[in-house]
Amino acid sequence: MRVVFPGSFDPATQGHLDVARRAAGMFDEVVVCVLTNPGKAGRLPLAERLALLTDMTSDLANVTVDSSSGRLLVDYCREAGIGTVIRGMRNLADVAHELPMAQMNRHLTGIETLFVPADPAQAHVSSTLITATTRK
């Protein structure tokens, strides 16, 4: 089964890598897809995020890195022949944010979303927090 692990990954964290590794152990192919989030002011250009993720996942033979911009995740999934989305969950705020989207995606397109609980050692880290604390 082919699945997608989407996100802005700006920057990619060890928590993201943990979710990708765990998904790689459960599925035939994992596509880590860097999406553009217009509501998030990021630090790293797309090319750097792709290179970083490619390097971070280089030891995972069944993980590839891709990107998508200007279209819905469900459209990317349909075009790529992917029927399942993987989302890492750190806390209840993540669940509150992701659950309605997962339900709507399933209702409209049949795409399923699987939530992977974060490793407790990584659960306090977020790309947004890293970006906010490292701004000059």
- For the chain, domain boundaries: 2-134
Q: What DSSP designation does 97 have?
A: H
What value, to the nearest 5°, has the Cα angle with vertex 19 and ends 119 and 35? 130
124 is in an annotated binding site: yes
Known binding residue 65? Answer is no
Q: Across the strands, what pairs with 116?
A: 88
pLDDT in tens, 21-76: 999 999 999 999 999 867 676 789 999 999 999 999 999 999 999 999 878 999 99
2-134: CATH, from 3.40.190.80, 3.60.90.10, 3.40.50.620, 3.30.420.40: 3.40.50.620
Q: What is the mean pLDDT of residues 103-107?
A: 96
87: annotated binding-site residue? yes
136: number of Cβ within 10 Å: 3
Active site residues: 16, 40, 90, 127
Give, in degrees to the nearest 5, the angle at Cα 108 between 105 and 111: 45
**pTM for this predicted structure:** 0.87
CA 35 to chain centroid = 8
124-131 mean pLDDT: 50
